A and B are shown apart, each in its own frame.
Chain A
Amino acid sequence: MNLAIRDIRYHRGRFILTSIGLGLLLGVVMSMGGIYRGLIADALSILHASKADIWVVQQNSNGPFAESSRMPEDIKYRIQAVPGVAAASPLSFQTIQVERQGKPFRFFLIGYELRGIGGPSEIVSGRDIRQKHYEMVVARAMGMQVGEKIHLGLHDYTVVGITGKIVSSSGDPVAYVSLADAQDIQFKKDNDAIRNERARVAANLADLQSLAPAQKNYLRQNITAITESTHTVNTVIARLAPGADLREAQERIRRWNHFKPVSDAEQTNLLAKGMIEKARMQLGLFRVILLVISAVIISLIIYTSTLDKIKVIATLKLIGAQNRVIIGMILQQSLLMGIIAYGIGYGLILLTYEKFPRRIVLESSDLQMLFGIVMAICVISSFVGIRKALGVEPAEALGG
């Protein structure tokens, strides 16, 4: 006969309530693990969508996500020429915040070459960008419809397609435009600003008496071209030809071009380990605290339920029950409470995880480990109750 289950059955109201309480706590612990995994998944989602082998970034930078990186667009030609590289395309990144329907609307804008790599990895409705200008593909999470327009920089952009689930490392949904458009949005100045800047250059040159007018003119044109150039990108991604050696290609880019070639694995590391390390520690610490609280709660519950059962335990000892009967009753109760609370927590997370504002990724290995930890906590927590129970004298059954 299982005494633990009999006792629980008799006190089921109390047992269910405490299990629900614990279950909520464990649900929070699970969601924190899920949030952490979600952070990693989000951080890596652009990486996975881009399918690049090498991220070429500014020298001495861990860009383009962990640090900023800027480089001229035409570097792509030199990267394309590196032996082993099959394709190379520039990408530009920027975070945009506009007003939409009266609310701040944030997203991460990627500019890509329409004929190159690094564009949307899938189109779930609508189509790819076909025209060089003013077309846009947005992630589903942006909640925009095909045909909708949005004003960015100096122009209106029309949504022509919807791509799947892709977010930036800070969780903002991603939108794609052509590289030229992205550069316009980022760098293009309005006409007043351009006029002012040109006047300033002209004024500065006018002071240089030593130059001939033709030289001045030539210089002015060049300076204006450079200052008005928008041909800056954040990275050039490269895909290797089949069989090409990653290390060799990286070495060549490093030595010949003086740019930093970050492999996909290194980039993953930078994002997963570097950028979200603090979040990981924060969440980890929080989980530990919550687990300690759970342990204290379980101990208290088991201890008080043992106190409630002193007379029962004394009676059991009186009629000659072995210690294992008594230990078993307390331990099983503790474990059962852990299992049920875990189940409740898990159910809760399954029902709600899609409604979280950021992605929750439930890894079965995490969940299994948590289950193991919860079971261990239950065993350890029941020690105080078991100690108390073993100290009970059978004579205590005698008192009225």
Chain B
Amino acid sequence: MDKNRYAIAVEKLTKMYGNGETEVTAIADATLQVQPGELVALLGPSGSGKTTLLTCIGLINEPTRGKVVIDGITVADDGWKNGIDLKRLRREKLGFIFQAHNLIPFLTAQENVMIALEINHLSKNEAKNRAIDLLTSLNLGHRLNNFPSALSGGEAQRVAIARALANKPKVILADEPTAALDTDNGKNVMALLKKLAVENRSAILVVTHDHRMVEGFDRIFQVSDGRIVD
């Protein structure tokens, strides 16, 4: 199988927390692949290891064993690869969306998107223009200068999505992006993600245990007790 075709390729990934008495195996021998343009769900009960898997793919948690390949770059092979610049990969290849929107409270909607662009070396003007375009396309053109505290849950989540998309990442990782939203807003967000996956040819991996939202995914992985059961 040609791993380079995949946006995300995970092979026999195991993640253990703690050691000795307190050792917990959160993920055991997980293998999955996601192609560009695919919208994929990770579904499973609480504590099954969905977030852990997502953070291992998101270069936030170091896998204990196994391989993680992002956009053809092997980032982990029984632990991080030597000399890998995790921050740079996160900046350039990955976009994150969370349940709690995680916007920076002292930045306006526009600035929250701009910051992701500026740390990726875009000039202030380019960053500003792209942020305005993105937010406008997400129907937030009238909210550019609002602080997160003044946004509704759905609006804040759309700003977070705009930020995740800002650098046109190959991979978008979303952890329960609809959990804090009502059904309508949740459906809108899911529809938006679906559209983005197709238009940007991004691989989008969404953690959810929200059964209202399962339609529309290209594939669904069931996670149970740290294993992908399909």
- Contact across chains for A395 and B106 when beta carbons are under 8 A apart: no
Min C-beta distance of A328 to chain B, whole Å = 11
Smallest CB-CB A-B distances: 9 pairs: A320-B91, A10-B106, A320-B90, A7-B106, A320-B87, A321-B119, A395-B60, A400-B100, A394-B60
With A6-B111, A10-B147, A398-B55: A317-B99 Cβ-Cβ less than 8 Å? no
Question: B5 at interface (Cβ–Cβ under 8 A)?
Answer: no
- Contact across chains for A398 and B91 when beta carbons are under 8 A apart: no
Question: A387 at interface (Cβ–Cβ under 8 A)?
Answer: no
8 A Cβ contacts from A211-233 to B: none
Question: B114 at interface (Cβ–Cβ under 8 A)?
Answer: yes
Question: A322 at interface (Cβ–Cβ under 8 A)?
Answer: yes
With A318-B96, A398-B55: A1-B102 Cβ-Cβ less than 8 Å? no
- Contact across chains for A1 and B118 when beta carbons are under 8 A apart: yes
With A325-B119, A395-B61: A316-B90 Cβ-Cβ less than 8 Å? no
The interface residues of chain B lying within 8 Å CB-to-CB of A359 are none
Contact-size category for A = 20 to 34
With A9-B106, A320-B90, A321-B87: A395-B55 Cβ-Cβ less than 8 Å? yes
Scan A284-313; emit 1 where CB is below 8 A from any B CB, else 0: 000000000000000000000000000110
The interface residues of chain B lying within 8 Å CB-to-CB of A320 are 87-92, 94, 119-120
Question: B98 at interface (Cβ–Cβ under 8 A)?
Answer: yes
- Contact across chains for B90 and A400 when beta carbons are under 8 A apart: no
Question: A3 at interface (Cβ–Cβ under 8 A)?
Answer: yes
Question: B45 at interface (Cβ–Cβ under 8 A)?
Answer: no
The interface residues of chain B lying within 8 Å CB-to-CB of A316 are 104, 115, 119
Question: A11 at interface (Cβ–Cβ under 8 A)?
Answer: yes
Of chain B, the residue at the smallest CB distance from A9 is: B106
The interface residues of chain B lying within 8 Å CB-to-CB of A322 are 87, 119
The interface residues of chain B lying within 8 Å CB-to-CB of A375 are none
Scan B97-111; emit 1 where CB is below 8 A from any A CB, else 0: 011101111110001
The interface residues of chain B lying within 8 Å CB-to-CB of A321 are 87, 91, 115, 119
Question: A268 at interface (Cβ–Cβ under 8 A)?
Answer: no
- Contact across chains for B116 and A10 when beta carbons are under 8 A apart: no
